[in-house]
């Protein structure tokens, strides 16, 4: 029901609110889980997550229990059954966003 722009803004806002301490990072992960479950395939959504993930890595020592929440999120994504070949292999049926996302993930 949300547009891709709405999803990016929602993800951006929840990360920023968590960073400021207004909400817990578990709320951010709940939003991210719902986006993943809704087949989040737009490059800009993943790039927004990637940007915040990189920044979070720099401050994680100051955030008790946060790394455990993100670690569990990563484990949950792996357990969904998607393998690395499916994530990185560009196919002729991939749309533009999917191709761009896969190239970004592979060459970052």
Please give the structure tokens belonging to residue 79: 């357990």
Helix, strand, coil in percent for the chain, rounding step 5: 75, 0, 25
Judge whether 49 and 11 are in contact, CB under 8 Å.
yes
Picking from 107, 108, 104, the residue whose alpha carbon sits closest to that of residue 41 is 104
**What pLDDT score was predicted for residue 72?**
77
The domain limits of the chain are 4-103
Mean pLDDT per block of 10 residues along the chain (108 residues) reads 85 91 88 75 77 80 76 68 63 76 57
**What pLDDT score was predicted for residue 12?**
92
Judge whether 43 and 33 are in contact, CB under 8 Å.
no
**What pLDDT score was predicted for residue 91?**
80
């Amino acid at each position: 029901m949300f547009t891709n722009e709405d999803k990016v803004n929602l993800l951006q806002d929840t990360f920023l609110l968590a960073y400021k301490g207004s909400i817990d990072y578990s709320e951010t992960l709940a939003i991210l889980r719902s986006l993943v479950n809704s087949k989040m395939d737009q490059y800009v959504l993943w790039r927004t997550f990637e940007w915040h993930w990189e920044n979070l890595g720099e401050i994680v020592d100051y955030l008790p229990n946060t790394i455990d929440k993100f670690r569990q999120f990563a484990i949950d994504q792996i357990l969904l059954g998607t393998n690395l070949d499916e994530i990185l292999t560009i196919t002729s049926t991939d749309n533009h966003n999917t191709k761009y996302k896969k190239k970004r993930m592979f060459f970052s």
